[in-house]
Amino acid sequence: MKTNLFFMKYAVLAAIFSVFALTSCSSDESKKEDQKEGTNPTVIAAVRVNTPGGRVFYLGAYEKFPSTLDYTNMTEIGPSATIYSYGEHPYVWNGTALTLTKYNVSNDMKISSSDVFSVANTGIKGTFGPPAFVSETEAYFFALNEGKIIKFNPTTMTIIETLAVTALPLSNDAGIKTSTYASYVTSAGKIILPVGAAPTDFNKFPQYAQIAVFDIKSKSVTYVNDSRMSMGYNTLAKGNDGSLYYRPARETALSLDYSTVTGNPPTGGLLKVNPNGTFDANFFVDLKVALNAHSVNVVAYVHGDKALAQYLDNTFTPPTLPADWYKAVTKFAIVDLKTLKTEPFTSFEKYGTVYSVGTIDGKEYYGNITAPDGKFSLLKQNGATDFEAVSEAIGGSLIFVGKLR
């Protein structure tokens, strides 16, 4: 009743308020529109910015990558974030809070949070890697050191079940510390997780390559070993044709330099992983022999029959302190996997340390740090030695790119 009297006595003010009300509604509608999931093709990029208060992560969305990726025009997504995308959505994993947030990107490239769920109440205490997306309604988190897998629905952002599986061997041995991090969903209905190690007891480094294979249908995990190579990295090298390669790791190369173990298999080998979760029995390349190297630290990628290897040459002498081992100057070379011929690789010299940040339309993209000029770049790979600088990242290094829709 008082409201009616108010509008009767103050008609002019009422009219003004009506205008404000309409404006507010219009603003609300506009905000809701910005939060809707768009339909236009979109690429996304995430950068990591070092601030006086610590690292902060930002996410941007674009019709195509601009010449500069300026974090001040991006959406801040927090101090502890790992970014992924699947289908229509970016997803941000916060390892500190143990939450996964799904985001929408509107047609005008506005980014807004859509939903979030937490795995903090699942009872899992150890660390685990990024989610493996099988479909719009099926995805998994792996905590294999505890013998557990969390199945969840990315559409509803709800946990479906926690699976009990065979735990990762040696993951709780403090002298070895095997672990999985990355996961690869294959066409054969398997999810493959390469197993890596960070031995502190150098005589304990595993003298075999190992992958964990999760069968989506049977919900079981098996561990597959290959004795042609010592344990490698906990991510796989990718071929431009989609092939997956188990690759060398710095940690086992270092361990061999300070170990008294003899007769070990190569630490600098390259194995191919089949979609069904087996190692290809007909493929093995000893990159150390091809390069006449002291050790091979990692293989960045495989393109056609060419692999990019980072290595220590045969003049290297291990320093007294293992901590100084990582300070050694490494070299890069392209190795032909069929002929074993090698050629020096210098394309990355002006970019410093270069690393993969994502795949879009079959093309691999890379970010960088420690460039001589201090610049951060987004590089697109067009061939085994052909790289194109797409964007300059202003204020921080790139950590992820992807494509939506």
Task: Give the model confidence (pLDDT) of 75-96 as tens digits.
Answer: 999 888 889 999 999 999 887 8
Cβ neighbours for 298, distance < 8 A, ≥ 6 positions apart: 233, 247, 248, 249, 250, 309, 310
Question: What number of other Cβ atoms are within 10 A of residue 62's Cβ?
Answer: 14
Question: What number of other Cβ atoms are within 10 A of residue 303's Cβ?
Answer: 20
d(CA 325, CA 316): 10
SS3 helix, strand, coil % of the chain, rounded to 5? 15, 45, 40
> Residue 285's beta-bridge partner residues?
270
pTM for this prediction: 0.86
| Residues 389, 130, 155, 92, CA torsion sign | negative
Provide the Cα torsion 69, 72, 78, 84; round to 10°.
Answer: -20
Question: What number of other Cβ atoms are within 10 A of residue 210's Cβ?
Answer: 24
pLDDT digit string (tens) for the chain, length 405 residues: 434 333 333 333 333 334 333 344 444 554 555 556 667 889 999 999 998 889 999 999 999 999 999 999 999 998 888 899 999 999 998 878 888 999 999 999 999 999 998 988 888 876 677 899 999 999 999 999 999 999 999 999 999 999 999 999 999 999 999 999 999 999 999 999 999 999 999 999 999 999 999 999 999 999 999 999 999 999 999 999 999 999 999 999 999 999 999 999 999 999 999 999 999 999 999 999 999 999 999 999 999 999 999 999 999 999 999 999 999 999 999 999 999 999 999 988 899 889 999 999 999 999 999 999 999 999 999 999 999 999 999 999 999 999 998
Provide the Cα torsion 50, 66, 302, 170; round to 10°.
Answer: 30
Ramachandran class of 216: left when φ > 0, alpha when ψ lies in -120 to 50, beta otherwise: alpha
Task: Work out the angle at residue 139's Cα, subtended by the Cα atoms of residues 43 and 100, and round it to the nearest 5 degrees.
Answer: 65
- pLDDT at 124 (0 to 100): 80
Long-range residue pairs from 8-13, CB within 8 A, at least 24 positions apart, any chain = none
d(CA 168, CA 185): 19
| Helix (H) or strand (E) run with residue 14 in it | helix 11-35
d(CA 290, CA 306): 12
